[in-house]
Amino acid sequence: MPPSYRACYSRHRCSFFRSSKGDESTVTTDSGTAVPPALDLLDDAGRALLFTEARTANSFAPTPVTDDELSRIWELAKWPPTAANVQPLRVLYVRTDEGRKRLVQHLNEGNRAKTESAPAVAVLAMDTRFHDHIPTLLPFRPELKDVFEAQEEMRESTGRFSAALQAGYFVLAVRALGLAAGPMGGFDAAALDAEFFPDGQWRSLLVVNIGHPGENPWFDRLPRLDHSDALRWA
């Protein structure tokens, strides 16, 4: 039972109507009053898995990661929000020896062994022509495609910002599937792009090692900013 239905069940004697579009957020009581959907809380184990206990892996076990698992990462990562729903992030999964060799040569020296041990690696990239998909992704404003086409600076900044957000969602999706992620910005982006994206349409942002933790996988946990440093209130 979807959470909105469950909440409605517990609070009201109500009947449930889906809109003709199958929109589950449309829940109405017998008296016709719309009931706001109630959201579930992630339990402590889920919060630990995604946030408080999750670590950046620096070495990986030889346990394989399947293509099905890699597909399921995207099935989760694609849902959180992007500006105007443009979804500019693209993913190249590298999981063959040959592909890994091509990738490793473009990583900073200190990052190479990590990727050599990872059973799968994602190269996260921004699609510089993300706006081509706007008529599908934002069907009520298809003309935004032409706005982005005409305004290169806005296209670049919007694309990079939302793709970076999606990169964060991607790391959390890896963790949600019980896998460890090792994000790395230390690589020669121009050389990597020439290697894998020679037509210039995708531009790499982040390399993410994916797998099960290997030997001594964690560095010491580094401090995090406290409320007093990071938060202001108005």
Ligand X SMILES: Cc1cc2nc3c(=O)[nH]c(=O)nc-3n(C[C@H](O)[C@H](O)[C@H](O)COP(=O)(O)O)c2cc1C
Instruction: Summarize as ranges the residues that interact with ligand X (CB under 6 A).
Output: 55-56, 111, 183-186, 206, 218, 221-222
Write out the DSSP string of 98-131. Answer: HHHHHHHTTB-GGGHHHHHH-SEEEEEEEETTGG
Q: How far is the CB of 175 from ligand X (least distance, A)?
A: 10
User: In the chain, what is the straight-line distance between the N-terminal and C-terminal CA atoms, in Å?
Assistant: 38
Q: Which two tokens stand for residue 45?
A: 């184990």
Phi/psi for 230 (5° steps) reads -110, -20
Residue nearest to ligand X (CB): 186
Pick between residue 86 and residue 206 the one whose CB is nearest to ligand X.
Answer: 206
Pick between residue 9 and residue 218 the one whose CB is nearest to ligand X.
Answer: 218
Distances (CA, A) of 5 to 11, 13, 16, 20, 79: 10, 11, 8, 17, 21
Q: How far is the CB of 94 from ligand X (least distance, A)?
A: 16
Q: How far is the CB of 185 from ligand X (least distance, A)?
A: 3
Pick between residue 111 and residue 128 the one whose CB is nearest to ligand X.
Answer: 111
Q: How far is the CB of 75 from ligand X (least distance, A)?
A: 22
Count of other CB atoms within 10 angstroms of residue 210: 27
Pick between residue 61 and residue 84 the one whose CB is nearest to ligand X.
Answer: 61
